[in-house]
Structure 1
Amino acid sequence: MLVEEIMKTNIITLSPSATIAEAWNLLQENHIRHIPITNEEYQVVGIVSDRDVRDATPSIFNKESNQKELENKIQSIMSEPVVTVHPLDFVEEVARIFYDEEFACLPVVRNDKLVGIITEKDMLHTLIQLTGTNVQSSQIEVKVPHKPGILPEVAAVFGARKTNISSVLVYPYNDDPNYKILVFRVQTMNPMPVIQDLRKAGYELMWPNNIVEPKL
């Protein structure tokens, strides 16, 4: 999945000469947490968060606070330089940037111009879609040898039952490089037949792992 498939393109921006008060009003009125700061060529020169603005806003409990601080230019509190991503970047790679850098928002830039924005919430929503948890389904986890061709081999068991697979994830098995975990989400509310087939085929199930086989 590419960034351009999940980014928001209706972007609210400010110029560096805008005031902190303007930023505060935009954040409140639009229920957003970040505002990219752009120049006349729509190039990203900074970014401000709701936290940046709150920290620069005089406290309502301090009667002696100077409200003139709200008229300071936004460039005085914006973060720069700004890390950006491209619309054709893979979402999985961008997720790594969010994690490593602890970002909550990333501007999306093409040809040095702002074209979109992606947030933590967008990433979480995408993760839900990629894992298939947004549809009614059952989860089956299978421990398999880490060898070529194992995925289609296991998937064939589902195919024999004509069970629709909505998503497949692959995880490492603890620290053992000889095994991995295949996580299938299948669109059936009764996964018992395919679970029995997997066990009969000799596969070890990590989940469900507490179902007693019925006696024949």
Structure 2
Amino acid sequence: MIVEEIMNRDVITLSPSDTIEKALHTLLVNRIRHIPIVDQNHSVIGIISDRDVRDAAPSIFKASTQALELKNEIHTIMSNPVVTVHPMDFVEEIARIFYEEEFACLPVVRNDNKLVGIITEKDMLHTLIQLTGTHVQSSHIEVKVPHKPGILPEVASIFGNRKVNIVSVLVYPYKDDAAYKILVFRIQTMNPLPVIQDLRTAGYELLWPNNIPGPKS
């Protein structure tokens, strides 16, 4: 999945000469947390967050409600340079940027730094739900397997033999043991018992569910 498929194209922006007061109003009215700052060519030159605006706003203990701080221009508080991503970047790769840099959003740009969208933490979480198949009524199965070529289609064939549809497949490392992997399947059946028994009969170790006994010898 690429960024272009999940980004928000309807992006609210401000110019560097707009006031902090305008930024505060824009954040509140639109119920958003971040605003990219663009120049006359719609190129990203900065970004502000609701936290930036709160930090720049006057204290509630000040007598004047028309404090001069709110009249300052946005460029005085915006963050720059801005980390951006491209529409053709893979979602899995930019997830690492969110995690390592602790960002809450990333502007999406094309050539010449032109803004074409924005992607947020919420977008990433929604995508994770879709990738893992948890938005579909399904059963969850985890299988410990040797880390060797061909093991995924080998295990998947067991589901195929039962005519069970696989909603999603994920592959995880098994603890610190590089000799094994964990295959996580979500399958469209509310009665996974026959498949579970087939997996055990084939000699696979189930990590989940692990409270269903194997077939009797």
Q: TM exceeds 0.5?
A: yes
SS, match of residue 200 in structure 2: helix
Q: Which residue of 2 aligns with 1:92?
A: 92
The 3 A distance-change label for structure 1 pair 153 and 120 is: same
Q: Which residue of 2 aligns with 1:14?
A: 14
Mapped partners of 2:161, 2:103: distance in 1: 45
Amino acid at match of 1:150: I
Task: Give the conservation status (yes or no) of the 8 Å contact 1:59–1:65.
Answer: no
Mapped partners of 2:208, 2:62: distance in 1: 56
Task: Give the conservation status (yes or no) of the 8 Å contact 1:34–1:48.
Answer: yes
Mapped partners of 2:61, 2:200: distance in 1: 66
Task: Give the conservation status (yes or no) of the 8 Å contact 2:144–2:182.
Answer: yes
Q: Which residues of 2 match residues 26-65 of structure 1 at below 5 A? A: 26-63=26-63
Mapped partners of 2:153, 2:116: distance in 1: 39
Q: Which residue of 1 aligns with 2:142?
A: 141
1:54-90 superposed Cα distances (whole Å, 9 cap, x missing partner): 0001122332687111000000000000000000000
Q: Which residues of 2 match residues 63-74 of structure 1 at below 5 A? A: 63=63, 67-74=67-74
Mapped partners of 1:66, 1:20: distance in 2: 12
Mapped partners of 1:23, 1:103: distance in 2: 20
1:20-79 superposed Cα distances (whole Å, 9 cap, x missing partner): 000000000000000000000000000000000000011223326871110000000000
SS, match of residue 37 in structure 2: strand
Q: Give aligned-pair identity as a percent.
A: 74
User: Structure 2 unaligned runs (5+)?
Assistant: none
Amino acid at match of 1:125: H
Q: Which deviates further from its counterpart, 52-61 or 31-40?
A: 52-61
SS, match of residue 24 in structure 2: helix
Q: Which residue of 2 aligns with 1:130?
A: 131
Amino acid at match of 1:60: I
Mapped partners of 2:215, 2:92: distance in 1: 41
Q: Which residue of 2 aligns with 1:166?
A: 167
SS, match of residue 106 in structure 1: strand
Q: Which residue of 1 aligns with 2:109?
A: 109
**Superposition deviation, residue 211 in structure 1:** 1.4
Q: Which residue of 2 aligns with 1:79?
A: 79
Task: Give the conservation status (yes or no) of the 8 Å contact 2:38–2:44.
Answer: yes
Mapped partners of 2:14, 2:5: distance in 1: 25
* TM-score, normalising length: structure 1: 0.97
Mapped partners of 1:11, 1:66: distance in 2: 29
Amino acid at match of 2:148: K
SS, match of residue 98 in structure 1: helix
Mapped partners of 2:149, 2:78: distance in 1: 50
Q: How many residues align?
A: 216
The 3 A distance-change label for structure 1 pair 214 and 180 is: closer
SS, match of residue 41 in structure 1: coil
Task: Give the conservation status (yes or no) of the 8 Å contact 2:143–2:207.
Answer: yes
User: Structure 1 unaligned runs (5+)?
Assistant: none
Task: Give the conservation status (yes or no) of the 8 Å contact 1:21–1:70.
Answer: yes
